Amino acid sequence: MKNGKLPSAKPKKKRPAGSKSKRLKQLAGSIRQLDIPGTSAALAFHFFLSFIPTVLILSLLYRELGADTGTVASGIGILSSWLPPVLRSGFDSMGPLIGKIPVSGFLVTSVVLFAWSSTSGISRYFRFLEKHCGKEGYTRAWRIRSRAIALILLLGALGGGLIWLLGFAPAGQNDGTANPWFWYRVVMVTVFVSTCLFVLIKVGTPLPLRSRRVAMITGFTGTVWVSLTLFLDQLIGFSDPIQTSAGHFGAVFIFLLWLYATAILMVIAGAWASTVVKTHR
């Protein structure tokens, strides 16, 4: 109390007029400076590399392992069945060449390729953001950028998981009997959505940078895996909703569009975060 009067509250700082539109203009300028087509295409290419081994892994495990030779030739045969007749004969000739490769060795190689392609894609994205934001902005923008990207991953997992479940009900077989793979799907979707929720919550806490990167890579690969399994069910014909080659290629095309759109959203989220940091410096 001073001179018999209570101290008045500190006046709030007024936000300058037009600050919101100024930030939007800065964001638009930052996005225009980015090589969005090139960067997102590079990301999509890295993640697409993980699509090829996953196709062969699941085709072997779901359709041929134990029922046929149990070798890579089984997966090659399934892949060739998706191709038009003109290309099928040449593709089938690959079977005898690598048909003696054991499943275990191929699975290890495929898992390594899947991990490398996903990790290298994420690392390329980090390098791109550091170059765009500068080291100081890269560090300060991490929390904002991570939440935006984690939200994208969460929405992708929810969307892919719901479509996956709706297309495969417990009584989804033609004879009306319960399908034993339904609860497998429920567990897988729950695990991956929970992973994305964990990433969404944890990236806002002061974790070490390396831990955040590991969490983000885990969330992204989990989301990609849900979407891959969704489309592989269609491609392999495990639930047989698609019977034609056109349907197979249509499913692959939709998957590639989803992958490319995700890469673009990741790049734009990075531009938005760096703009916020530059505005508040």
Question: pLDDT for 77-129, tens place per residue?
Answer: 555 555 555 555 555 555 555 555 555 555 566 566 656 655 565 566 666 66
Which range is least confidently modeled, 4-18, 27-41, 165-179?
Answer: 165-179
- Which DSSP state fits 64? I
Q: What percent of the chain has pLDDT over 90?
A: 0
Domain membership flag for residue 269 = yes
Whether the predicted pLDDT of 241 surpasses 50: no
Domain membership flag for residue 27 = no
Question: Within 10 A of 113 (CB to CB), how many other CB atoms are there?
Answer: 15
Range of the domain at 150: 35-279
Domain membership flag for residue 16 = no
Domain membership flag for residue 23 = no
Domain membership flag for residue 8 = no
Domain membership flag for residue 116 = yes
Query: Which pLDDT score is estimated for 169?
Result: 45
Distance CA 81, CA 263 (A): 30
pLDDT band, very low/low/confident/very high, at 250 (cuts 50, 70, 90): very low
pLDDT band, very low/low/confident/very high, at 65 (cuts 50, 70, 90): very low
Domain membership flag for residue 2 = no
**Number of domain units in the chain:** 1
Domain membership flag for residue 21 = no
Q: Which two tokens stand for residue 113?
A: 């390729």
Between helices 103-140 and 245-279, what is the axis angle to 10°?
Answer: 30
Whether the predicted pLDDT of 242 surpasses 50: no
